[in-house]
Amino acid sequence: MHKAKSKISAVYILIDIVLIAFSTYLPYILRHNKLTFLDFLTLPFIWQRLNLPAFPLHSFVFLFWGIIAILILNNCNLYETDRERSIPQEIGSVFKSVLFSSIPTASAVFFFKIVIFSRLIFGQAAMLMFITLSLWRAIKRLIVRYLISHGYNNLNVLIIGAGKIGKVLAGEIRKSSYLGLRIAGFLDDHKQGNINGYKILGRISDFERIVQQKFVDEVLITIPGERKKIVEVINQSKPLNISVKVVPDQFDSSINVLKDYRIGFVPLLEYSVKEIHGTELIGKRITDIALSTLGLLFLSPLLVLLAILTKLNSKGSVFYVSKRSGKKGKTFNFYKFRTMVVDAEKMLAQLRDKNETDGPIFKMKNDPRITCIGRFMRRYSLDELPQLWNVLKGDMSVVGPRPLPIEQVENEDLKQLRRLEIKPGISGLWQIRGRSDASFHRLIRWDIWYIRNWSLWLDLKIILKTIPVVLKGKGAY
């Protein structure tokens, strides 16, 4: 196994060397030569007539740059096959590697006064290096995920604990087929039968026997409060040569930003609340303005068409406008395309007993108040598009907790009011994890988790995952 990983790492490094050479030499060659597409078709012979001024000096700079880049890429663990790493995380690591390798290279060029080295070539090479190194990793990640989701190199996992956390974990594993985790079953001292379709194989005392019978590769422990049993499982795992992962205490609370470090030889796990820096909020606002502006411009024909269809389909205004609670409880006008009949609010009292979700939200799959075109728009979330105007105005963000009507917010407890710590959003974890199918209290926990773990990378992941969820139209009504 170790030799196989070494070979894979060597292949990854070789590919990076080729891409770095391509990214650095191409801008240099194009800068000093006028080439056509036909010239590239005669690539073996083109070198004889290329103008390559100060070629050895440029090659030395490129070599220096490439070595530093590969060392930093290796330090970011980009030559390991980590199936749990996401594409945005890899691209972020590539960006850091290109940036931190460019700084000493540019400093060396300046310090040694290599005046013949063009800043334009340097900038183009850095940009091209980031694009090529990111693109091939994204392609590699997609290929690996496809193979894993179809059974290649899957891992058999055993979940210790069939309680609430175990159920949630099993559900997440089922959703994340690209991780290649195949649940062998559960071990639990208090339950029997099946959990989410997976069999409870025995008690925790049966651990060693079950691991050998089911050819378990990895153990996931979801009983964080029972430290004695956790230690026993870990000790039994060592001679069996299987890895163990433990769900931490209070994993689903709002204080779940974890850091691990050591004091001497004692390992510690820190629970802390993520504080959003002011510059991060500026970055989020700039992103919101850019995306909402582009969205309104490019989707304007669709917005006009939906407005016409809404007007023709039933009596009433095109837009549904309601008061919503925004950041810190600030009230704003919330815009949607109208999807219900004119007297929808009056009809609500007669339908209250048919509510299909918990909490203050009213959801009903076959709601008689919804119009024909409204049902279509809701299925694909087209009724939410006018909220791009809310984002542009600054009332909302592209990603964030969904804004609730004021009367619903007034019914929430203090814990749930934490959702109002940031601007509400058009999309969020509600949309990519459950939409209308998830319970209200689960949606609240997702919102609080998002607030405590927010980052621009997380927003990007949610936006990218929202698109296929919306196109499938699953869980929306």
How far apart are the C-alpha atoms of 171 and 53, rounded to whole Å? 60
What CATH number has the domain bearing residue 197? 3.40.50.20
Q: Which residues contact 126 (CB under 8 A, 6 or more apart)?
A: 98, 102
Q: Digits of tens for pLDDT over the chain (477 positions)?
A: 455 567 788 889 999 999 999 999 989 888 877 766 555 555 555 556 677 788 888 888 899 999 999 999 988 888 877 777 778 888 888 998 999 999 888 888 887 777 677 888 899 999 999 999 999 999 988 888 888 877 777 889 999 998 888 888 898 888 887 788 899 999 998 888 888 889 999 999 999 999 999 999 889 998 877 888 888 888 888 888 888 888 876 655 544 555 665 566 566 555 555 556 556 678 788 889 999 999 999 999 999 999 999 999 888 899 999 899 888 888 999 999 998 888 767 777 667 666 656 556 666 677 788 888 988 998 888 999 999 999 999 999 999 988 877 766 666 555 566 778 889 999 988 777 765 556 677 777 788 888 877 888 888 888 888 888 888 766 565
pTM for this entry: 0.53
CA atoms within 13 A on the CB side of 42: 10
Do residue 287 and residue 316 come from a single domain? yes
Do residue 93 and residue 215 come from a single domain? no
155-160/218-221 β-pairing: parallel
How far apart are the C-alpha atoms of 43 and 50, rounded to whole Å? 11
How far apart are the C-alpha atoms of 411 and 396, rounded to whole Å? 22
Nearest CA among 414, 422, 393 for reference residue 326: 422
Count: domains in the chain: 3
What tokens does 278 get?
Answer: 């002011």
Do residue 304 and residue 345 come from a single domain? yes
Residue 321 lies in a domain: yes
What tokens does 234 get?
Answer: 């870990």
Q: What is the DSSP letter of 170?
A: H
Residue 404 lies in a domain: yes
Do residue 164 and residue 143 come from a single domain? no
Do residue 119 and residue 185 come from a single domain? no
How far apart are the C-alpha atoms of 101 and 64, rounded to whole Å? 9
Residue 271 lies in a domain: no
Do residue 176 and residue 105 come from a single domain? no
Do residue 111 and residue 185 come from a single domain? no
Dihedral sign for Cα 335, 338, 340, 342, please: positive
Residue 87 lies in a domain: yes
Do residue 120 and residue 172 come from a single domain? no
Which domain, by its residues, includes 297?
A: 278-472
| Ranges of H-type helices in 33-180 | 37-41, 43-46, 55-75, 87-111, 119-149, 164-175
Residue 269 lies in a domain: no
Query: Helix 55-75 vs helix 2-32: angle between axes, to the nearest 10 degrees?
Result: 150
